[in-house]
């Protein structure tokens, strides 16, 4: 009998025992319910600095855009911190992960969150999206093809832009999270009018290797953020262009309108 069979059986039992209400855990001291098979995916101090900022910054009624929502942790926590008020629009293009996102939102009664199965870029339309077939719920699926990943499935995905999202949902976004595994430059390009008109804080996960594979650069991202008049902070310290552009591994920044 395989380990995967036993794991799946145990998750089914847990689902039954909990009456399909999920497993409650505390992530950075915020209670979140997870589908049983994902209850241990996030450590208790996951992205501690980012979530400390959310607790300090978010207020009831604020609008949020979550790009690269994965199974919904960020959106659920934003929903709690805004006390179910304001609009939260979250985007997850991967079919299997989007299904998990819907489940997580339901478990947490996140009624002010609107999930959208689409990718976000610099134009509205369609594009090829690459999914890892090796891991259900993989959080590194992307519009950028990872040349080192052998088990990839390509499929057609709907594209949106931040500017189109903002107008279409009548948003006044106070916060936008961007985690798009190498497609950061295009995503930012598609939000320039929103950044200038509404001046949201941006939380951006930057993936230097994937950015380079796509043919983009950290320098181009930095220059665009400067054009939109943003200051860039890493661990609450202002970054210089030299520091930003020299990074070689994944790093998260918080960008504030100047």
Provide the edge-to-edge strand list for the sheet that holds 230-234.
Answer: 113-116, 88-91, 63-67, 173-178, 201-206, 251-257, 230-234, 237-238
Nearest to 75 by CA among 22, 37, 116: 116
Q: Same structural domain for residues 153 and 72?
A: yes
Q: Same structural domain for residues 66 and 165?
A: yes
Mean pLDDT by 10 residues, the chain (258 residues): 51 56 92 89 92 97 98 97 97 92 97 97 91 57 60 84 98 98 96 98 97 96 99 97 98 97
Q: Same structural domain for residues 32 and 98?
A: no
Q: Same structural domain for residues 85 and 193?
A: yes
Listed in sequence order, the DSSP H helices in 88-191 are 95-107, 162-168, 184-189
Which pLDDT does position 41 carry in this prediction?
85
Q: Return the structure tokens found at 178.
A: 């961007």
Please tell me the total count of domains within the chain: 2
Q: Same structural domain for residues 6 and 76?
A: no
23, 162, 206 from 46: Cα distances, Å: 17, 26, 17
Q: Same structural domain for residues 108 and 188?
A: yes
Q: Same structural domain for residues 100 and 163?
A: yes
CATH of the domain at 66: 3.40.50.150
pTM of the model: 0.89
Nearest to 112 by CA among 137, 141, 75: 75
Q: Same structural domain for residues 67 and 10?
A: no
Q: Same structural domain for residues 77 and 12?
A: no
Q: Same structural domain for residues 32 and 51?
A: no
Which pLDDT does position 150 carry in this prediction?
60
Range of the domain at 237: 47-257
């Amino acid at each position: 009998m395989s380990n995967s069979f036993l794991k799946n059986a145990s998750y089914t039992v847990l689902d039954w025992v909990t009456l399909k209400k999920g497993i409650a855990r505390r992530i950075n001291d915020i209670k979140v319910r997870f589908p049983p098979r994902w209850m241990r995916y996030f450590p208790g101090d996951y992205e501690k600095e980012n979530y400390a900022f959310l607790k300090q910054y978010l207020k009831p009624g604020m609008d949020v855009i979550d790009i690269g929502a994965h199974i919904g942790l960020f959106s659920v926590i934003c929903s709690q911190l805004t006390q179910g008020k304001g609009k939260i629009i979250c985007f997850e293009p991967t079919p299997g992960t989007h299904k998990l996102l819907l489940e997580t939102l339901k478990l947490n009664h996140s009624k002010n969150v609107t999930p959208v199965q689409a990718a976000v870029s610099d134009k509205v339309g369609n594009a090829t999206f690459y999914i890892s077939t090796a891991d259900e719920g993989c959080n590194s699926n992307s519009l950028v093809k990872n040349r080192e990943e052998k088990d990839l499935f390509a499929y057609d995905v709907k594209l949106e832009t931040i500017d189109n999202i903002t107008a279409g949902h009548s948003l006044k976004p106070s916060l936008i999270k961007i985690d798009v595994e190498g497609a950061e430059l295009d995503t930012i390009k598609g939000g320039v009018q929103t950044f200038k008109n509404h001046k949201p804080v941006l939380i951006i996960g930057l993936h230097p290797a994937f950015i380079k594979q796509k043919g983009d650069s950290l320098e181009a991202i930095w220059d665009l953020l400067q054009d939109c008049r943003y200051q860039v902070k890493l661990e609450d310290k202002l970054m210089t262009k030299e520091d930003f552009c020299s990074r070689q591994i994944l790093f998260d920044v918080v960008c504030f309108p100047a």
